[in-house]
Each structure stands twice: as structure tokens, then as C-alpha cells.
Amino acid sequence: MSQIQAPRGTADVLPEDGRRRLDLLTSAADVLSRAGYGPVETPIFETTELFARGVGETTDIVEKEMFTFEDQGGRSVTLRPEGTAGVCRAYVEHGMHKLPQPVKLWYWGPFFRYEAPQAGRFRQFTQVGIEAIGSDDPTLDAESILLLAELLDRTGARGVRLRISSLGTPETRRAYSDELGTFLREREDKLSDDVRARLDRNPLRAFDSDHPGTRAALEDAPRLLDRLDPADAEHFEQVRALLDAAGQPYEVDGTLVRGLDYYTRTVFEFESTELGAQSALGGGGRYDGLVEQLGGPPTPGVGWAAGVERILLASGTDEPRPAPRSVYVATTGEADAAQAFGIARELRIRGLRAELEQAGRSLKGQLKHADRLGADYVVIVGDAEVQVKDMSTGEQRAAGSPGEAIELIAGAGP
């Protein structure tokens, strides 16, 4: 029969990779909880309208990248392409505006975008992210940026660069968008078909384009950063001052547009020079209108999400972390299987890592396997006695009983 393969753009996580992901998850939980972020989980599928309203009708994500289907009850649902809309929906649905503000949340899980798969770009990928909802204080913008920087640093991501900008308020952005639209329409013949088709609806998207003509046309285009109103300019100044004081390097990039429509004021993106075309490790920004747009009270918010697979790609494979002492329990005859089983279980309870023979190998084969696993000790359970072999010295000692063997190993220093 023909073989069935994983769907295009998805990947199985095998143990080696799984261990690195778990390390990253542990680091994230540590870094984020120390800053007051609590874990949150929202559904993997949501009502399609949530993303249409939250992410924006004219974004690439909503226009062409969503896994949308009708359920058996005829409702249109979508596999979540991003996490902010769902978290803000949950904030409104659970009346979290009544809690002390800001509400700080972090998440980790699978997300889905129907994109052309390539290195670092998948149809199912994993994001780790945070949202701080209920305050427009610039310290939250700076804090969230610094938290992602810390996480990337702890993971050992290489070639990391940070770009930041401010998009101002929706009104400023609208006025600027009209101005940019007029500017680009005067140079329409130079633009790509894609950009031209979106000129009326979303001219800002032009900054996302790689098309040489479009890029040339944009060179002298007006910049949003020069159009910010005084309060937004001041907010951005404060965010920058906090990053400066923290010694966080960054580049102000007025052409930074993110692929989602909910952003206001601060936006940022971390990228890695190690990653090729899909260089964005993570990004985010402020979304002061989103909660209201989803039916909640006017509520500011700021956050980011980072691609787990990309962080690990940019981090290379590091030294494995120090493991607990490990033991291999070998047996010389079938009658000892239950004893070996009990010894391994007890060693695990005592905090050691223990494996036992479970594939019918000869004693010689078992010792070879123990070596391959990097065991520090081998317990050899024989018919009459139990031996303990220290693999670093090669020294082998008889232990009177299984209990004595466990004491010999568990009682030894680290």
C-alpha cells in the first residue's frame, strides 16, 4: 500500500528537537512569569469573524492564508493564524477589564497559515507570545520588547537585530495612508500589480513589497514617523528612552509595517541574520483599538509573538544541558526482569534517570547499549547477586541486594 505522509508544511517533532522545544518552553515560562505574565490557553479554532474583524479584511493573512471551513453545524470556523485576537476575545468574554490592570498573559501553541512552505515557513508552526492588556504605559512597550530580547538571549539565538517604529493613532494612519496613496498613484506605472491592486484599500502594504520598482518609488515617499501627533511622538520617545537606558540596541525603521491591521503606536520586529528569507524571529506592538473592535470597552494593549521553530533554527544546536546521573539496569537472565524493573523505578523516584533492558539483548549487547546512552552507572542484576559498575572508572562492585545497589548509586554525590 502507498505510504501516507504528513501534510505539506507540517513537521513531526522527534525527541531531539522535542527536548530543545521543551527547554525553550521552560525558559519562556521562567522569563515571562518573573515579569508577572500568567499562562493562558485559547481554542485552536475560532469563529472566522474574529480574525476578519481583529486581524483585518485586507491583510494577507485574512485574504489568502486562513484554514477556514464549515463545521457540521454550518458555522464558519478558522484555525487560528495568530493569537492576539483570541486572547483579546477571551479578555472581553471573561470580563477581565474588571481585574486590576494591566492583565498580563503569555501563551505557547500551534498556529496555522496557508503559506508556501520554505525554510523557516510552515503551515503549522508554534508561537510563544505575550499580551499586556489594559494600560498604555510606555514601560509596557519597553518591557515586552526587553522580555523577548531576554528570551532570545537565553536561547542563544544568533545574529539578532531589533527594528522599532511607531504607527501613531488610526486617525494619523488614515490621513497618512491617503497621503501615501496619492503619492503612489502619481507613480502607478512603477508599482507591482499586487501593490497597485491594493492602492485604494491599503497603500501602506507597499512597504512590504520586494518588487524593485515599488521599492524605488517608495524611496522619496512621505514617512509616517514624521506625521505622528505630539502625544504619540512623546510616547515613542519614552519607549526609546527606556530601551536606551536598558542598553538594548535597536534601529528605528520608519518603513516597518507589520502584516496585521490592529497595530497602533509602537511596532517592533526581531530578526536574525542566520535565517535567510524568513528572517523574522518575532514581532509585535501596541493595539489600542483591538479590544473595542471585538466588542469590549476601549482598552489599550501591547504584546508580541515569536516563532518557536525559527528561534531554534537561529540558535543552532548547543551543548545539551547537564542531565541527572543516569543508570542502565542490565539483566543476565529472564528470572530477574521484575527485579530490574523495580530497581529502575526506584532510581527514577529518587530523581535519577534510569533505563532498563527491554529488547532482549545479550549482556554484552546491553553494556554496549548502556555506553551508547551515556549511562554513568550500570546495575547488573544476576541470578544470585547484583553488581554496580561505575562507567567513568570501570570499577565494578558487588552489592548485597537491590536496595544496597540503589543506595550505592543514589547516595553517591552528583
Question: According to the binding rule CB under 6 A, does residue 161 interact with ligand HAM?
Answer: no
Q: Which residues contact 45 (CB under 8 A, 6 or more apart)?
A: 77, 78, 79, 80
Closer to ligand HAM by CB, 236 or 304: give it: 304
Query: Per CB under 6 A, does 104 bind ligand HAM?
Result: no
- Min. distance of Cβ 110 from ligand HAM in angstroms? 11
Residue from 90, 305, 340, 406 in contact with ligand HAM (CB under 6 A):
305
Q: Residue number with the shortest CB distance to ligand HAM? A: 307
**Amino acid residing at 384:** A
* Position among 108, 125, 176, 236 found at the interface with ligand HAM (CB under 6 A): 125
Would you say 270 or 377 has its CB closer to ligand HAM? 270
- Burial category of 154 from C-beta neighbours within 10 Å (exposed 0-12, middle 13-18, buried 19 and up): middle
Q: Can residue 136 be called a binding residue for ligand HAM (CB under 6 A)?
A: no
CB of 105 to ligand HAM, least distance (A): 10
From the list 148-156, 201-209, 225-233, 302-310, the region that binds ligand HAM by CB under 6 A is 302-310
Q: Closer to ligand HAM at the Cβ: 275 or 406?
A: 275
176 interacts with ligand HAM by CB under 6 A = no
The 3-state secondary structure of the chain, one letter per residue: CCCCCCCCCCCCCCHHHHHHHHHHHHHHHHHHHCCCCEECCCCCEEEHHHHHHHHCCCCHHHHHCCCEEECCCCCEEEECCCCHHHHHHHHHHCCHHHCCCCEEEEEEEEEECCCCCECCECCEEEEEEEEEECCCCHHHHHHHHHHHHHHHHHHCCCCEEEEEEECCCHHHHHHHHHHHHHHHHCCHHHCCHHHHHCCCCCHHHHHHCCCHHHHHHHCCCCCHHHHCCHHHHHHHHHHHHHHHHCCCCCEECCCCCCCCCCCEEEEEEEEECCCCCCCEEEEEEECCCHHHHCCCCCCCEEEEEEEHHHHHHHHCCCCCCCCCCEEEEEECCHHHHHHHHHHHHHHHHCCCEEEECCCCCCHHHHHHHHHHCCCCEEEEECCCCEEEEECCCCCEEEECCHHHHHHHHHCCCC
Query: Per CB under 6 A, does 155 bind ligand HAM?
Result: no
Report in angstroms how near the CB of residue 19 gets to ligand HAM at its nearest.
Answer: 20
CB of 387 to ligand HAM, least distance (A): 51
Range in contact with ligand HAM (rule: CB under 6 A) among 12-20, 44-52, 179-187, 253-261: 253-261
- Number of residues this chain uses to bind ligand HAM (CB under 6 A): 28
Segment contacting ligand HAM by CB under 6 A, of 207-215, 222-230, 258-266, 386-394: 258-266
Positions 260 through 299 that interact with ligand HAM (CB under 6 A): 260, 280-285, 287
Measured CA distances, 390 to 80, 96, 299, 413 (Å): 52, 57, 62, 13
Does 382 sit near ligand HAM (CB under 6 A)?
no
Applying CB under 6 A, the span of 12-20, 24-32, 124-132, 163-171 interacting with ligand HAM comes to: 124-132
Nearer to ligand HAM, 55 or 386 (CB): 55
Does position 127 interact with ligand HAM (CB under 6 A)? The reply is yes
Q: Is 60 in the site for ligand HAM (CB under 6 A)?
A: no
Distance, CA of 23 to CA of 381 (rounded, Å): 34
Instruction: Note whether 40 binds ligand HAM by CB under 6 A.
Output: no
Q: Is 106 an interacting residue with respect to ligand HAM (CB under 6 A)?
A: no
Site string for ligand HAM, 79-98 (x = CB under 6 A): ---xxx--------------
* Minimal distance, residue 82 CB to ligand HAM, in Å: 3
167 lies in the site for ligand HAM, by CB under 6 A: no
**Is residue 332 a contact partner of residue 383, using CB atoms and an 8 Å limit?**
yes
* Cα gap 171→240, rounded to integer Å: 23
Residue closer to ligand HAM, measured from CB, 144 or 332: 144
Among 89, 205, 310, 325, binds ligand HAM (CB under 6 A): 310
Give the torsion sign (CA, 245, 250, 253, 259): negative
- Candidates 11, 101, 109, 121; binder of ligand HAM (CB under 6 A) is 121
Query: Which spans of this chain sit near ligand HAM (rule: CB under 6 A)?
Result: 82-84, 113, 115, 121-122, 125, 127, 129, 131, 258-260, 280-285, 287, 303-307, 309-310
